Structure 1
Amino acid sequence: MNHWIIVPIILPAFAAAFLVTALSHDLARQRLVSTVSTLLLLATAVWLFILASDGTTRVYLLGNWPAPFGVVMVLDRLSALMLLVTAVLALAVVVYACGGWDAKGRHFHTLFQFQLMGIGGAFLTGDAFNLFVFFEVMLIASYGLMLHGGGAYRLRAGFQYVAVNLVGSTLFLFAVGLIYATTGTLNMADIAVKARAVAEGDVALLRTGVLLLLLVFALKSALVPLHWWLPTAYGAAPAPVAALFAIMTKVGAYCIIRMHGMVFGAEAGAVANAAQPWLLPAALLTLVVGALGVLATRRLLDLVAFSVVWSMGSLLIAISLFDAGGMAAALYYAVHSTVAAAGLFLVADMIVRHRRHWEDRLTTAPPVPHATLLSGLFFLAAIVMAGLPPFSGFIGKLLVLDAVREASSAVWAWGLILATSLAVIIGYSRAGSVLFWKAEVRAEEALTADGTGLPLTSILAAAGMIGAAGLLTVGAGPATDVFAATARQIMDIDGYVGAVLGPDARLALGR
């Protein structure tokens, strides 16, 4: 077994424990330990990505108990890719937070590391119950991060965020219980085998469990009509936290790919593709609602939050095809939308910090200090998110449009993707003009404008996310090759089952 597979889980876990026990009152050393830990996580993620690039699915048996009896961690192209995206995002967030924002509370870095532990575990686990466990680790840490810095508005939004996720966790447990009751296992590979031969009398129960899982993952992915919590929560969250939360919706999308594309995919017998009839219509509605939110909102942070909802619509349209072409397009778009949303949240925070009592309201105000730099960063981040050429958003949308071209819903998908893209462009154009071009200079207000300098770390973090989108554009050819290979491995369900359960598993599959 390759012990590097569990490093993305144990490294942030040990870092978090050390931070809270030894350095809880020493912010400077917290920053050092958290940054070093995140850099080591990035180095590990790069190594695991290179390791997984040979197409081999690697299994780590905790306690050396064989699957399906023990807990397993599984490294394949998909999990390695998501770990790498998480690590890149985490580095940008911790660098931004070290610019002074983390001083607003005592335990930011501890919660941040626990959050990374939960996300890494969710991407690596090969067991449905442990997916629930890592979800809870991730969510509990996110509750604390959401409330970091305090404030009445943040507290109200945080209460709603906690309540919604508690409901989701309860449904997750119900779903896991139903799946275990009907298949007798919670190992993902073993479920994929046993779902094909489930007793006729248990089909309805298993289907209920499958659809409950879809409900949970749709909630985390902000899929309409379960999206309503996201604009409030992300709009109220501190900017570095909202930037980190950009990967949280992708955890939901990842789980849909893993559970509904692989475990309960085309070969799952009586429950095969149970999610497909529901996923595509909801994804199309998500596009519309997200774009309308971008047009209607009058707050900058809400604008970015609604654009996250909108981007999830395009991503889930591609996933709903449940074929190799759709998966490859979805993976490219997932990486693009993660770095684009994170960059926008960080840029928006720098703008808001210099607008005094106008904060993020899209209303005319005196010019902000450093307007040239901030407007340039906002312009670049906005065109990346909106999908204008030549950046990665444009390429991602082309890939999604091409993937859905032969589908029966192609007319709807093409029409709504193009129409909502225009609406998002209009929304960002209006926001940029109000923030920068229509600024009014009033002497009594300009004299008291906040001229505090922008920390270099904040600029570097935001520019780094925009630069990552640029790299994704320049390297679109090699990147799409990697995503296509990853999609083919996702669709090789028997290969995953054989790697986890052993070569004899093919006999159980009738092959």
Structure 2
Amino acid sequence: MNHWLTAPVLIPLIGGFLQVFMGYAPLSLRRTLGLATTGLLLVSTVILLMLADDGSYRAYAFGNWAPPFGIVLVLDRLAALMLFITALLALFCHLFSLGRTDVSSRQFHALFLFQLMGLNIAFLTGDLFNLFVAFEVLLIASYGLLLHGEGTARTVPSLHYVVLNLAGSALFLISVGMIYSVTGTLNMADLARIIPELGAADLPLVEAGGMILLVVFALKAALLPLTFWLPRAYASATAPVAALFAVMTKVGVYAIIRVYTLLFGENAGALANLGMDWVFPLALLTMIVGVIGMMGSGGLRTMVAWQVVVSVGTILAAFSLVSKEGLSSALFYMVHTTWVAAGLFLVVDLIAGQRGSAGDKIVTAPRMRNRTFISVMFMLGAVSAAGLPPLSGFFAKLLIMSAAVPGLQMAALWAVILFAGFLSLVAYSRAGSIVFWRNVDGHIDQPERLNFPHTVGAGALVAMSVVIVFGAGPLSDYTDAAAEQLRDTSAYTSILDTAMVGEDE
């Protein structure tokens, strides 16, 4: 077994425990440890990304209990990509939090690292029940992160977030219980073998469990109609937390991609492509509702939160095309939108810090101290998010549209993507012109000054829209290979035969 698979779990776990016991240590020491932990995590994910690029599956069985009986971690191209996206995002969000969010609580760094641990378990686990455990770990940490601050403006949306996710957790347990009652296992490789061979009498219960599971993942991803909790919750969170939460919805998207290609994909017999007839129209409607929310937003944070909703609809619309090209384009778009949306959350926080009582509201205010630099960052993020050339959003949407097969589905997808892109551009243009150019007389007393951690944290994530363009060829090749690997379910099920004690996959 390759012990590198445990690094994304153990690094934040150990770092988080050290932060808990160092709660009263000097803040500078806690910051140094926190950044060192996220930096080491990034290094480990790069190593795993290189390991996964050979196209083979690697499994790690805890306690030498071979699957399907023990806890198993599984690494493939998709898992490695999600780990890398999260680690890079976490490093810049952690950097941005220095001197801002981390001052308000002694346990911020611990919660931040435990959140990363939960995310990484979700991406690596090869078992449905352990996916539930991962969701609970990351959600418990997210509750604490979301409640940083004071007042009902943050408490009420946080309460809605908690209640909805608790309901989702209950449904998750019900669904896996239904599946286990028929199959006798929750190991995903084992389920991928058993489900296509189920008899007619057992199919209804597994189908019902699979559809409930889809509802749970749709709630985590904020797919319509389970969308409306997200904008207020994300808009009320502190900037680095909201930016990190840009990958939280992608956990739900990842779960849908993983489960509904492996367990209910084209090789699932009578349950093939379960729920995809629902996902495609709901994804298109999610995009439409998202851009309408952007148009009606009164603040920049809310507008970016609605942008996250649009991105979820776009990814799932591409995935529900049920083709290798659609899946590859969905993964490419997911890389782009996670980093760019997170960067916009951080840029908006810089804007709010220089506008006094106006904050992030889309209203006129005195001119900002660093208007030129911040406006350039906002423009890059907005242009990329809207999907205009020459930035990454344009290439990501072009791949999605080219993946559609001519017909009614293609017409609907193209129309909604172009419509959403146009309205996104209008929303960003309106907000930018008001915030940056329609200034009133006067000045802001003691506006926040830009410093190195905040500038680098926000600028680096926005700049990823340019980096992706230069690396579009290799990234596209990687997502093509990841999509092909995901659709070959027989290779995943071979984990049951090859994940033996002492073997290095």
TM normalised by structure 1 equals: 0.96
CA deviation after TM superposition for structure 1 residue 24, in Å: 4.0
Deviations 1:221-261 (A, max 9, x none): 11111110010110111110000001111111110111011
Equivalent pair of 1:392/1:470 in contact (CA under 8 Å)? yes
Shift of residue 503, structure 1, vs aligned partner: 9.9
Q: Which residue of 2 is the match for residue 457 of structure 1?
A: 453
Match in the other structure for 1:114: 114
* Greater CA drift, 254-263 or 111-120: 254-263
1:436-475 aligned at under 5 Å gives the runs: 436-442=436-442, 446=443, 448-475=444-471
Residues in 2 aligned to 1:483 and 1:27: alpha-carbon distance in whole angstroms: 41
Letter in 1 for 2:460: G
In structure 1, the partner of 2:503 is none
Q: 1:213 maps to what in 2?
A: 213
- 2:411 counterpart letter in structure 1: V
* Structure 1 equivalent of residue 365 of structure 2: 365
SS in 1 for 2:51: helix
Matched, 1:480 2:479: no
Task: Say whether the 8 Å CA contact 2:67–2:499 is kept in structure 1.
Answer: no
SS in 2 for 1:459: helix
1:280 aligns with 2:280: yes
Aligned residue number for residue 424 of structure 2: 424
Q: Equivalent residue for 1:34?
A: 34
Paired residue for 1:509? none
Structure 1: segments with no counterpart, 5+ residues? 505-511
Q: 1:336/1:500 Cα in 2 relative to 1: closer, same or farther (>3 Å)?
A: farther
Distance in structure 1 (CA, Å) of the matches to 2:283 and 2:138: 25
The letter for the 2-side match of 1:428 is Y
CA deviation map 1:331-378 (0-9, x unaligned): 100000001101000000111112211112111111122111111111
What is residue 306 of structure 2 aligned with on the other side?
306
1:354/1:449 contact within 8 Å kept = no
What letter matches 1:151 in structure 2?
A: G
CA offset at residue 493 of structure 1? 0.3
Most deviating of 468-477 and 486-495: 468-477
What are the superposed Cα offsets for residues 299-329 of structure 1, whole Å, 9 maximum, x if unpaired? Answer: 1100000011011111111111222111110
Equivalent positions of 1:52-451 (< 5 A) are 52-406=52-406, 408-442=408-442, 446=443, 448-451=444-447
How far, CA to CA, are the matches of 1:374 and 1:22 in structure 2?
Answer: 36
> SS of the counterpart of 1:201?
coil
Cα distance in 2 for residues equivalent to 1:315 and 1:229: 19
Between the aligned partners of 2:420 and 2:270, the Cα distance in structure 1 is 36
Q: Which amino acid in structure 2 is aligned with residue 484 of structure 1? A: D
Asked if the contact 1:355/1:450 (under 8 Å) is kept, the reply is no
What SS is found at the alignment partner of 1:59?
strand
In the alignment, is residue 490 of structure 1 matched against residue 486 of structure 2?
Answer: yes
Q: Secondary structure at the match of 2:265?
A: coil
Q: Following TM superposition, by how much is the alpha carbon of 1:197 offset from its aligned partner in structure 2, in angstroms?
A: 1.8
Displacement of 1:25: 4.2
| Letter in structure 2 aligned against 1:173 | L
Assess if the C-alpha contact under 8 Å between 2:221 and 2:253 holds in 1.
yes
Partner-residue secondary structure (3-state), 2:307: helix
Query: Following TM superposition, by how much is the alpha carbon of 1:478 offset from its aligned partner in structure 2, in angstroms?
Result: 1.2
Shifted more, 94-103 versus 479-488: the winner is 94-103
Following superposition, which runs of at least 4 residues in structure 1 exceed 6 angstroms of deviation? none
SS of the residue corresponding to residue 59 of structure 2 reads strand
Measured in 1, the distance between the counterparts of 2:80 and 2:268 equals 25
- Do the aligned residues in 2 keep the contact of 1:99 with 1:455 (CA within 8 Å)? no
Distance 1:23 1:407, change over 3 A: farther
Contact persistence 1:294–1:427 (CA under 8 A): yes
The equivalent residue for 1:507 is none
CA contact (8 A) 1:190 1:501 kept: no
Q: Is the Cα contact below 8 Å between 2:22 and 2:30 reproduced in 1?
A: no
Match of 1:499 in 2: 495
Q: Which residue does 1:508 correspond to in 2?
A: none
Q: Secondary structure in 2 aligned to 1:399?
A: helix
- Whether the 8 Å contact between 2:146 and 2:237 is mirrored in structure 1 is yes
Q: Which amino acid aligns with 1:492?
A: D
Q: What residue identity is the alignment partner of 1:490?
A: L
- Partner amino acid, structure 2, of 1:433: S
Contact map agreement 1:118 1:135 (CA 8 A) in 2: yes
The alignment's TM-score, normalised by the length of structure 2, stands at: 0.97
CA distance in 1, matches of 2:480, 2:381: 26
Question: How many Å separate the matches in 2 of 1:329 and 1:64?
Answer: 37
Residue pair 1:172, 1:212 contacting (<8 A) in 2 also: yes
Are 1:7 and 2:7 matched, yes or no? yes
The corresponding residue for 1:48 is 48
Deviations 1:251-296 (A, max 9, x none): 1111011101111111112221112111101001011000101111
Gaps of 5+ in 2: 501-505
- Structure 1 CA distance for aligned equivalents of residues 203 and 362 of structure 2: 52
CA-to-partner distance for each residue in 1:353-408, whole Å, 9 max, x for gaps?
A: 12211112111111122111111111111111111100000000000001113464
Between stretches 261-270 and 108-117, larger displacement belongs to 261-270
For residue 261 of structure 1, what is the amino acid of its counterpart?
T
Deviation at 1:440, TM superposition (A): 1.0
* Separation in 1, partners of 2:151, 2:94: 22
Distance in 2 separating the partners of 1:387 and 1:399: 12
Q: Shift in Å at residue 149 of structure 1?
A: 2.4
1:151 deviation in Å?
2.7
Structure 1 residues 338, 165: CA separation in 2 closer, same or farther (over 3 Å shift)? Answer: same
Conserved? CA contact 2:291–2:423, under 8 Å: yes
CA distance in 2, matches of 1:16, 1:223: 31
User: How large is the Cα RMSD of the aligned pairs?
Assistant: 1.3
